[in-house]
Amino acid sequence: MNGAKSLVETLLKSGVDTCFANPGTSEMHFVAALDQSPGMRCVLGLQENVVTGMADGYYRIAGKPACTLLHCGPGLANGLANLHNARRAKSGIVNIVGDQATYHRPLDAPLTADTDALARTVSAWVRTSTHAEDVGRDAAAAVQAARGRPGQIATLVLPSDASWNEGGRVAEALPLLPPAPLDPRAMDNAARVLRSGAKVLLLLAGQAVGAQGQLLAWRIAQATGAAVMGDYVNGHVARGRGRLQLERVPYVTDAAVKALESFEHIVLVQAKAPVGFFAYPDKPSVHHSPTAQIHTLARPEQDAVAALQALVDTLGVPQAPLPDPGPRPEPARGAPTPEGLAQTVAALMPEHAIVSDESISFGRGFYKHTHAAPAHDWLHLAGGAIGDGLPVATGAALGAQGQRRVISLQADGSAMYSLQSWWTQARERLPVTTVLLNNRKYNILIGEYGSVGATPGPTAMSMLDLGNPNLDFVKLAEGMGVEAARATTLEGCADLMRQSFARPGPFVIDLVI
Ligand SMILES: Cc1ncc(C[n+]2csc(CCOP(=O)(O)OP(=O)(O)O)c2C)c(N)n1
């Protein structure tokens, strides 16, 4: 058996059965091995940032890692922005990078690059397998690292001779690593703060914004008078009916400072103390009150649900039903507004839908109007590097085995970074409905000009204008095999949503906003 076959067999043994790939010459033996070892679903992405973003979306829904297959340092470099987003979302990915043969590397051929150095910027674990005999062992270790708590990126660099040489050995799956132990002092401290009568915020992120974490946090809040909020961005939030009407710490500095100013204590549950995405002249970088005390109940490498349960037990908190979100909204009518679109999505989304949210400026208020939608999962752009909404939607659909409708709320400028995702959606016949929020500009950056105190002239404004020439998203989608139509009103958008939800396969609604 060659190294490549031992790699595929080991991945399958370790539970990795989906591979997002954009291969080159150095990965040919891996690709050939896929034919010999049935069981690995292989999905082609037409640019590496689509590949890595799909792997991120897959993990967020499947709850287990897929592998990627990337070509040399430059292929990895193309995929780095979405690996960055995946790292922020705490997604586990077995990131496989084929590379120059060990004896060819010193010759400095054109595609030779410092692959390890590129990998280290986003990976918690990096290893190069230089011998076919080691590939299976290293692959099992990579899966174990990727499945850590929280999930993380494990990059396995595979020189082509390690793939094609004989001597490959299939390795057994390694056990899952347990979460880091809880700290009883952190528990006692949080209980003391919550009993003190002071103004306390429980700030949730990561595992804590899942359904179980929300319920426990709500019980604590009900019994102690604390408030509950979620981080502005999270990899995966459980939302809709049967879940807490969790609000996010706002994005805009002034709004975030206002939302947080009254809290004397903030108890972090896998969250970080809130800071701005950016610094702005004369505004604070840290958004909570300067006198607030910050306490950590659970770090990302600990079990947040167990920590919240322990706190519930310590405080002797009774059961508390989640508040009712009220009636499901009706679809809105008229010119598209953020509130109207959110209501329409909430009115029409099927049960257990998945929302991939790269709506940027249009979608900041979507939460408020979607609490009464059926239970669904909401995936954010976790690392701020635009261009992951469409790949994450694609990977999420695959993570759900095509059984759940994905609604991709997608700003136009960000869509253009990884538009090739639509081709993969068409090829794999995935149930993804993209609502393309077409404002023909980098709208958020117009606001950012003001916030940083710059005065934009015509050249500056033209850098934010996507209307010269206009992008025709209907044609772009159709050109990649995805059906599409344009809507200029919310009722038009609702009609197209209904049609698309009733049919298998992808659909793009070009919503002119
Ligand atoms: C990888 C990366 N490149 C550039 C940026 C800077 N950036 C942030 S938002 C944005 C424009 C977003 O425009 P669009 O997706 O159309 O959303 P809108 O602002 O119109 O809501 C840009 C270029 C970024 N965040 N990440």
pLDDT score at 281: 93
Cβ–Cβ < 8 Å for 4, 98: no
Cα(361) to ligand 1 centroid in Å equals 9
Cis peptide bond N-terminal to 323, omega within 30: no
Q: Which of 336, 333, 407, 412 is nearest to 373 (CA)?
A: 407
Write out the two tokens for 61: 């829904």
Ligand 1 atom 26: residue of nearest CA: 385
> pLDDT at position 454, please?
85
Rounded alpha-carbon distances, angstroms, from residue 35 to 30, 185, 212, 224, 285: 9, 54, 41, 59, 53
Q: How far is CA 60 from CA 236, 322, 397, in A?
A: 6, 25, 10
How far apart are the CA of 445 and the centre of ligand 1, in A?
A: 7
CB atoms within 10 A of CB 196: 12
pLDDT score of 263: 98
Alpha carbon of 386 to ligand 1 centroid (Å): 6
The three-class DSSP label of residue 126 is strand
What is d(CA 187, CA 309) in angstroms, rounded to the nearest whole number? 10
Residue of 51, 63, 127, 115 lying closest to 89 (CA atoms)? 63
- What is the pLDDT, as a whole number, of residue 452? 86
CA angle 319, 200, 287 (to 5 degrees): 135
* CA separation for the pair 79, 99 (Å, rounded): 15
Q: How far is the CA of 385 from the centre of ligand 1 (A)?
A: 8
Strand, helix or coil at 268?
strand
**pLDDT value at residue 410:** 98
Residue with tokens 């809105």: 332
Is 18's C-beta closer than 6 angstroms to any atom of ligand 1? no
Is the CB of residue 271 less than 8 Å from the CB of residue 283? no
Ligand 1 site, residue 364, Cβ cutoff 6 A: no
- 3-class secondary-structure state, position 398: helix
Given this model, what pLDDT does residue 181 score?
98
Q: Residue 5 has what pLDDT?
A: 97
Give me the pLDDT at residue 155, please: 98
Query: If you measure from the C-alpha of residue 307 to the centroid of ligand 1, how many angstroms do you get, rounded to a whole number?
Result: 36
pLDDT tens track for 376-409: 999 999 999 999 999 999 999 999 999 999 999 9
Is residue 445 in contact with ligand 1, taking CB distance under 6 Å? Answer: yes
Distance 283 CA to ligand 1 centre (A): 22
Distance set, CA 513 to CA 271, 337, 502 (Å): 34, 7, 24
Dihedral class, residue 360 (left if φ above 0, else alpha if ψ from -120 to 50, else beta): left
Q: What is the mean pLDDT of each run of 10 residues along the chain (513 residues)?
A: 97 98 93 90 98 98 98 98 98 98 97 98 98 98 98 98 98 97 97 98 98 98 98 96 96 96 98 96 96 98 98 96 96 98 98 97 93 98 97 98 97 98 98 98 90 86 94 98 98 98 97 97
**DSSP one-letter string for 128-196:** E--SHHHHHHHHHHHHHHHTSSS--EEEEEEEHHHHHSB---PPPPPPPPPPBPP-HHHHHHHHHHHHS
Q: Which of 203, 205, 428, 413 is nearest to 294 (CA)?
A: 203
Written as six digits, the tokens of 410 are: 């997608």
Atom 23, ligand 1: residue with shortest CA distance: 442
CA-closest candidate to residue 297, choices 270, 324, 337: 270
**pLDDT in the model for residue 451:** 83
Residue with tokens 């590129």: 118
Indicate whether residue 124 lines ligand 1 (CB < 6 A).
no
Handedness of CA 69, 73, 75, 77 (dihedral sign): positive
